[in-house]
Amino acid sequence: MPDDEGHPDTAEIELGRVLAALADPLRRRVVRELAAGPKDGARTCSSFALPVGKATVTYHFRTLREAGLIRQVDRGNSRMATLRRADIERRFPGLLAILTAEETDAAAE
Amino acid sequence: MPDDEGHPDTAEIELGRVLAALADPLRRRVVRELAAGPKDGARTCSSFALPVGKATVTYHFRTLREAGLIRQVDRGNSRMATLRRADIERRFPGLLAILTAEETDAAAE
DNA sequence: GGGGAGGTACGATGCAAGTCATACCTGGAA
DNA sequence: TTCCAGGTATGACTTGCATCGTACCTCCCC
């Protein structure tokens, strides 16, 4: 698959899709960790240690990518994920702040 | 059922629940219309003319209520719904602005 | 005191979401 | 070159969500 497959343009990011993607605690945790990291910080899918199988991890990252929340680029063997900070902030100002403010207690340990 | 049944306290409003509630276009439309109306404006469930049956309308309003987004009070025959503006704004600043900014094109006509 | 409008409760149904096991592909490391 | 780690694709399964029909309750109004 080509690199930029399934990455919607900034203007095409739909609120419904974004909210549906963020309704899942695991996906919210990924976005939160990316947002807490350095700007444009790239991490591999497996570095999040989600408590689900490999196939499910792929599924969640695809959901985030198709919603327009993350960008995934092939880098040799693995695939790096970055948060589309500027795009999200432009379309939905304040959304990332709401996510990072969430307590990390019960949600998706 | 008592009046304040199923209304979570302000501090108990969970982000996951709120996002899940707002993932549905019909429920988002209800919140958007309430937010566009006057502050503390109360409307009956049926005044939204949602394109679904009565039972489904009840279901959606219960979902919004249990998520903490609206408050429902019995008023004689019918039941008035108000947006919990201040509570939402305190817990998730900017969220209502994001919702009201959504274009009302394809979503839930 | 009906009767009807506005809502809720309950059960059933169709479909999408989240999960996994398995098989497979691809680069780097040994 | 041979493996293995990291990801994807596919099919299957389970659970939950959105929906409806029907039955029921309760006020208001005539």
Averaged pLDDT for residues A4-19? 92
- Please answer whether residues B48 and B31 qualify as being in contact, where contact means their C-beta atoms are separated by less than 8 angstroms: no
Mean pLDDT across the stretch B28-32?
A: 98
CA–CA distance, B101 with B91 (Å, rounded to integer): 19
**Does A22 lie at the interface with B, CB-CB under 8 angstroms?**
yes
| CB of A62 within 7 Å of some strand C atom | no
| Cβ proximity of A17 and A65 under 8 Å | no
Residue pLDDT, tens place only, B33-92: 999 999 999 999 999 999 999 999 999 999 999 999 999 999 888 999 999 999 999 999
Taking the stretch 8-67 of protein chain B, residues with Cβ within 7 Å of any atom in nucleic acid chain C are 44-46, 54-55, 57-58, 61-62
Distance from CA of B96 to the nearest CA of A (A): 10
DSSP letter string over A63-92? HHHHHTSEEEEEETTEEEEEE-HHHHHHHS
Determine the residue among A14, A17, A22 to mutate to test chain B binding: the one whose Cβ has the most chain B Cβ atoms within 10 Å. A22
**Distance of CA A78 to CAs A43, A44, A74, B101, Å?**
10, 7, 6, 38
Contact by Cβ (8 Å): A74, A59:
no
Q: Is A64 in CB contact (< 8 Å) with chain B?
A: no
Phi-psi region of B44 (alpha: psi -120 to 50; beta: other; left: phi over 0): beta
User: Quick check: A24 pLDDT over 50?
Assistant: yes
